[in-house]
Amino acid sequence: MINPLLEKFETPFETAPFHLIKEEHFLPAIEEGIKRAKKEVSEIVNNPAEATFENTIEALEAGGNLVGTVAEIFFNLNSAETNDKIQELAHSISPLLTEYGNDIMLNEELFKRVKSVYDKRETLNLGKEESMLLDKTYLGFSRNGALLNEEDKNELREIDKKLSGLSLKFGENVLAETNAFELLVDDEKDLKGLPDGAIEAAADTAKDAGKEGWLFNLQYPSYIPFVTYADNRSLREKMTLAFGSRAFKGDEFDNKENVKAIAQLRYKRAQLLGFKNHADYVLQRRMAENAETVNGFLKNILEAAKPAGVEEVKKLNAFAKELDGAENIQKWDFAYYNEKLKQKEYEIDDEILKPYFKLENVIQGAFHVAKKLYGIEFIENDDIPKYHEDVICYEVLDKDQSHLAAFYADFFPRSGKRNGAWMTSYRSQKMQGSKNIRPHISIVCNFTKPTSSKPSLLTFQEVTTLFHEFGHALHGILANGKYGSLSGTSVFWDFVELPSQVMENWCYEKECLDLFAKHYKTGELIPEDLVQKLRNSATFMEGYATVRQVGLASLDMAWHGVNPNHISDVSEYEKQILENTDLLPGITSSNTSCAFSHIFQGGYSAGYYSYKWAEVLDADAFEYFKEKGIFSQEVAQKFRKLLSSGGSVKPMDLYKEFRGQEPDPKALLRRAGLIK
C-alpha cells in the first residue's frame, strides 16, 4: 500500500495531501521518519572530519524533515479534527517521538561534536543568525540532559515519556467533558434575554442532534452568549458550573491527579537538570529570564489594577441591586450584569455591533490590513487539499507577486476540535541551499456559525480574536530567515504574543474598520459614533479583566515556580493562590487548573504571564504606529523586518531596532485607562 506521507507531496506548493491521508498512514510514516533521522545523525557522528559549524550544527538543523512534517500534520489534526483513532494513535506516537527526541539530545558522541563547535565559537567569525543557531543548539542539548550521567539520562527519558502521556490525557479529558455537556431548553420562556442569533443557533444544534427545543453546549459560541444574556439565573448557574467543573468531577475524566503528576514531574525534571524548579528552567530562555522578574512584573500590574477592579465589582453589585434587586453577584451573574451596565453606560453591545461583522468581511478586512501594511495578497485556492470542508485555503503573494506562503483558515466549532483559537504551521520557512522554502500556516478558531437565516456574524471579541491569530499567522507568513528552528514564531515565548496582540489595536480604528465593517444587509459602513462608543467602552471593567489575567498567570507560576510535591489538594491549593485576585465569591465545584489547557497541555507552562508581558510591547509599538499613522509605510516596513527576523536576533535587540528605544512599561497602563 502506498503511504502518501512517505511520497513527495504532488500538491500545490507541496502542501499536506489531506485527501489521501488515512489514520493508518501515520504510525508507519513516523517510524520511517525516525529511522531516516537517526541515519542522518549517525552520519554526523561518524564523520571523520573535525566538527565544524557546517558539518555538525547546520547538518543537524537540516535533518529530521520527514518526522517533523508527519508529526506537524498529525498533532495539528489531533487538535483541530481529532477522532477516537487519532487519539488512540497519539498514545503510541507521542512516546515514540519523546524517545526519539531523547535519543538525539542524549547522544553522547553527537553532543561532543556540538560542544566542540560551541567551545570555539569565539574564533569562528559566525554571523548573528549562525551564532543564534549555535547557542540554541548547544542549550537545546544541555537543557535536555546532555551533561547528565547515564543513570540520570535514563531517569530523564522516563520522566519525558510520562509527561508526554499525561499531557495528552489531560487534553482528551477536557475535550471529552466539553463535548459531554448539553443543556436542552424546551420552554421558550427560558430563552428570554437571549439574542435571536443565539436562539436560532441553538434551534439548529437541537435539530442536528435530532432533538426538540433549543440545545446549548460548552463550546464558546454557545456558552458565552448564554451566560451573557440569558435572564434565567438558574440556567446561567447550571451552564457556569458545568463549564467550571470540566475534568473536576472525580470521574474517569478527572484531571486532579494529572495536574499534580505533571507539575511534580516537571519539577523533578528541572531539578535533575540543575534548576531550582520548572519556572527557572523555562525562563532561562525567555525575555523575563527568571521567576523573580515575572513575579515582580505581575505584582506591579496587580497593584495598578486591583483598586480599579475592586471598585468595578462594587459598582456592578450596586447596579445589579438597582436593576432587579440582585445582591452579592456570583460568577454566573458577572457577564450578565456586566453586559447590561456596559449597554447603559455606553449604549453599545454585541447585538448592535454584530451586523457589521460578517465573518467573510472580517476575513477580507484582515487581508486588506496586511496588504496596506506589507503589500501582500491572499488568493483563495481550492486546489490546496483540506482536512475538513469548513477549511478555506489561500495562496499568499508578496508585493512583487512572488509566492509567499500557503494559508489555511478554520473558523467553526465541531466535536473533533478543541475549544479556543490558535495559530499553527504545517511547514516552517527556511533556506535549503539557495532555495527559499516558504511556509504553510494555519489559524484555527471557534466562531459563531451561520444559521439558516443569517450568515456568521461575529461578536467584537471574535473580531479581535481573528485579528490576533492573524497576527501570529503574519509572523509565520513573512518569515525570511536561514534556519527553520529560528524562523517565524520560533522566538522567546514572552515575545511571541507581540505580533498577534498588536494586530488587535487596528480593530478600534475607524480608518481600519471602514475597510470591512459594513452592515451585512444594507452595506452601510459602521457609523463614527458607534466606533467612538466602542473605543470608549474598550477600558470598561479593565481593572477586573487585568486582575483576572494576573490571577491566571499567578496560578501558572504557583504550579511551576515551587516544589509541588507538598500539594495534596488541587482545589485547596488553587483557592489559596487565587485568593488575592478572585474578586467574586468562589465556587467549590469549579476548578481552573483541571481545565487549564494552556499550561498543562499547550506550551504556556511558566509562560502564561507572556500575554501581559507582550501587551506592554504591543501597547508601546502601537503608540508608534499612531504617531506616524496606522498604515505608515515607514513603521510597517520596520515592523515587517521584526516579523521576518523570527528568532534570529534577541527579542529586545529586535524591538529596539524597530522602536528606537526599549518599550515604555506605562504604555499598557495608559491604554487600559489605569493611569493617565
For residue 478, give the nearest of 412, 528, 419, 429 by alpha carbon: 429
- Exposed (0-12), middle (13-18) or buried (19+): which is 302, by Cβ within 10 Å? buried
Q: Which helix (H) or strand (E) holds 440?
A: strand 440-444
Active site members: 469
* Pure H helices in 245-328: 256-272, 278-283, 291-324
Residues paired with residue 408 on neighbouring β-strands, in sequence order: 393, 442
Note whether 308 and 543 are within 8 A (CB).
yes
DSSP tag of 493: T
Q: How many angstroms separate the CA atoms of 258 and 169, rounded?
A: 8
Contacts by residues 39-48 (CB-CB < 8 Å, ≥ 24 positions apart)? 40/64, 41/104, 41/107, 41/110, 44/110, 44/113, 45/107, 45/109, 45/110, 45/113
Residues paired with residue 518 on neighbouring β-strands, in sequence order: 525
Residue with cell 486591583: 306
Burial 385-411 (b: 16+ CB within 10 A, else e): bbbeebbbbbbbbbeeeeebbbbbbbb
Give the 3-state secondary structure of residue 464: helix
CB atoms closer than 10 angstroms to residue 429: 27
Note whether 473 and 407 are within 8 A (CB).
yes
Per-residue cell: 12: 500545490
CA contacts within 13 A on the Cβ side of 319: 18
Q: For CA atoms 120, 125, 127, 130, give the dihedral sign.
A: negative
Q: How many angstroms separate the CA atoms of 408 and 527, rounded?
A: 32
Q: How many angstroms separate the CA atoms of 349 and 323, rounded?
A: 18
Q: How many angstroms separate the CA atoms of 393 and 410, rounded?
A: 9
Residues paired with residue 379 on neighbouring β-strands, in sequence order: 395
Give the 3-state secondary structure of residue 520: coil
Residues paired with residue 184 on neighbouring β-strands, in sequence order: 215
- Parallel, antiparallel or unpaired: strands 182-185 and 214-217: antiparallel
Q: How many angstroms separate the CA atoms of 470 and 463, rounded?
A: 11
DSSP tag of 568: -
Q: How many angstroms separate the CA atoms of 593 and 416, rounded?
A: 22
Note whether 79 and 418 are within 8 A (CB).
yes
CB atoms closer than 10 angstroms to residue 101: 18
Note whether 511 and 631 are within 8 A (CB).
yes
Per-residue cell: 394: 489561500
- Cα separations (Å) of 187 from 183, 190, 214, 572? 12, 6, 9, 38
234 Cβ contact list (under 8 Å, min separation 6): none
Note whether 95 and 65 are within 8 A (CB).
no
